[in-house]
Structure 1
Amino acid sequence: MELGKPLKISDLIRELRQQLDISQEKFAAKLGVSLRTVNRWENGSTVPSQMALKLIEKMLHNLGQPGKRLLNEYLPKAEQREDS
């Protein structure tokens, strides 16, 4: 990732999906949303709901160290909640 580039939720979703090695369609199924919704998240035209973000955060925690890195990078407040 480039230095100085603002971190976007679309990048987090794409990276998480790549870490899980699953398609947008399978990722959508895991979250209970449509393929179109995931596509819009990754394109940056919409952002996940709070409920979807909680599920994404849970997926990141379940990934172990790679997920923790992504959490620290994209959702540092979520990681702080977990540590307290």
Structure 2
Amino acid sequence: MELKKPLKISDLIRELRQQLDLSQEKFAAKLGVSLRTVNRWENGSTVPSQMALKLIEEMLQKMGEPGKRLLNEYLLKAEQQEDS
């Protein structure tokens, strides 16, 4: 039985940004959103739009193995929660 806390979109965004060694401001600029938007995503008060999620997914894919790991971990956790 796995007791690990499920990875949330806020965790995924924070981890991606940190692995890319980007400040929230620089990460926001890459996605074409405001610093405030990224901050809200990371603190869980809002979630990214479909367009922003697509850009985040592209960033993860370009990272190679670390990005695939994050994407798989997030997607698997999300699918497991939907099935429950």
Equivalent pairs, count: 75
- Show the counterpart of 1:73: 73
- Show the counterpart of 1:54: 54
- Show the counterpart of 1:81: none
Runs of at least 5 residues in structure 1 that lack an aligned partner in the other structure:
77-84
Taking structure 2 as the reference length, what is the TM-score of the superposition?
0.85
How far 1:53 moved relative to its partner?
0.2
Between 30-39 and 3-12, report the one with greater CA deviation: 3-12
- Show the counterpart of 1:17: 17
Runs of at least 5 residues in structure 2 that lack an aligned partner in the other structure:
77-84
Q: Structure 1 segments of 4 or more deviating over 4 A?
A: none
Among all aligned residue pairs of Structure 1 and Structure 2, give the percentage whose two residues are the same amino acid.
89
User: Secondary structure in 2 aligned to 1:37?
Assistant: helix
- Show the counterpart of 1:6: 6
Q: Which has the higher contact order (CA 8 A, sep 6+)?
A: 2
Between 4-13 and 41-50, report the one with greater CA deviation: 4-13
- Show the counterpart of 2:27: 27
How far 1:63 moved relative to its partner?
0.2
- The separation in 2 between residues aligned to 1:16 and 1:6, in whole angstroms, is 16
